[in-house]
Amino acid sequence: MDSLSDVLNRARFKGTVYCVSEFTAPWGIRLPSHEGHAAFLVMLRGGCLVSVDGSAESRSLASGELILLPHGAGCAIQDHPNSSLMPIDQIIAAPAARGDVVRFGGGGALTSLIMGCFEFDTRVRNPLVESLPDVIYLKAQHLQSEPWLDSTLRMLASEGSQIRPGSDSLISRLTDMIFIQIIRAYITQIKDCTEAPSWLRALADDQIGAALNLIHERPGAPWTVASLAGAVGLSRTSFAVKFSALVANSPMGYLTSWRMQQAVNLMESSEDNMANIARSVGYTSEAAFAKAFKREMGGAPGAFKRRVRGMVRRPAQRS
């Protein structure tokens, strides 16, 4: 599996369409910050201004454009800078029922957009999520780099504004697709930018990208800096320097972090004991694994496993 697919699979995200909306001028809404959630706005018709908390710059969002706030920043969305702002929870207290269109505003020019979010599992670090900027702004030409993204967004809008059999399942899968397509479109957008987020630039580098793929394909292999360097055709020193510069982590630091994420996945999805989990992620000693796990995750693996297994079982006990 390539490293981007592996990291996307481990991002453990769940997409939700909050509402399909029709706002008429003048109008303004405020979205609060929400840790572990990435809000997204898709403009279907009209236009608006988006002001992200902590930034002095307002972005103009036009029809066919999209904004993603990967780290849950709050924002103000308005038809005009002078329009009054209303907190979103005073307009709609919960995600709209399927088929409902949220309407708000003064009766003037119409703006239609989709508002939603992706929720991430914040218990484990994810190099992709951590590397994303506070704001991803994709104009129409950026969306076109992903041939099906525009079509997927339009299908999402259609399903969200109607009541049809299977809509909930289809919307769930469409939001998964949209997040992946947004990331691929963003990679295309920043591929030649030297200031692009570190992990994504590393992914595009021939040698460091190849090393990342090796780590993700075989996280339990007995990798060393020297063996990874040799596998991608670099000297040990050159590889270590280049990897650290691009990934913002050492090769062994990245390997350890990814092994711990693999271990968390095994704790949740299998009944293996801790010794078997340790061996699966490359540790011959359970003690060495426990030490690395505690350093990376902030707690002992046994306690972590009991906690996550309890979370998995509780919904079944209530049904």
Residue type, 277: I
- Domain ranges in the chain with CATH number 1.10.10.60: 205-313
Report residue 317's pLDDT band, with 50, 70 and 90 as the boundaries. Answer: very low
Share of the chain above pLDDT 70, in %: 93
- pLDDT-derived band of residue 315, with 50, 70 and 90 as boundaries? very low
pLDDT at residue 212 in the model: 95
CATH superfamily of 3-190: Regulatory protein AraC (2.60.120.280)
C-beta separation of 300 from 294 below 8 A: yes
CATH 2.60.120.280 intervals, the chain = 3-190
Predicted confidence at residue 112, as pLDDT, reads 94
* SS3 per residue for the chain: CCHHHHHHHHCCCEEEEEEEEEEECCCEEEECCCCCEEEEEEEEECEEEEEECCCCCEEEEECCCEEEECCCCCEEEECCCCCCCEEHHHHCCCCCCCCCEEEEECCCCEEEEEEEEEECCCCCCCHHHHHCCCCEEECHHHHCCCCCHHHHHHHHHHHHCCCCCCHHHHHHHHHHHHHHHHHHHHHHHHCCCCCCCHHHHHHHCHHHHHHHHHHHHCCCCCCCHHHHHHHCCCCHHHHHHHHHHHHCCCHHHHHHHHHHHHHHHHHHHCCCCHHHHHHHCCCCCHHHHHHHHHHHHCCCHHHHHHHHHHHHHHHHHHC
To which CATH superfamily is domain 205-313 assigned?
A: Homeodomain-like (1.10.10.60)
- Does the reported pTM lie above 0.85? no
Residues sharing a CB contact under 8 Å with residue 169, sequence separation 6 or more, in sequence order: none
318: pLDDT strictly greater than 60: no
What is the pLDDT at residue 194? 67
Average of pLDDT values for 76-90? 95
Q: Tell me: pLDDT of 169 over 90.
A: no
**Whether the Cβ atoms of residue 174 and residue 156 lie closer than 8 Å to each other:** yes
Mean pLDDT (whole number) for 290-294: 94
Q: Identify residue 308 by its one-letter amino acid code.
A: V
The mean pLDDT of 222-236, rounded to a whole number, is: 97
Q: How far apart are alpha carbons 215 and 304 in whole angstroms?
A: 24
User: Both tokens of residue 135?
Assistant: 């704001």
Q: Give the residue, 4 or 310, on which the prediction is more confident.
A: 4
| pLDDT, tens only, 139-163 | 887 777 787 888 888 888 888 777 7
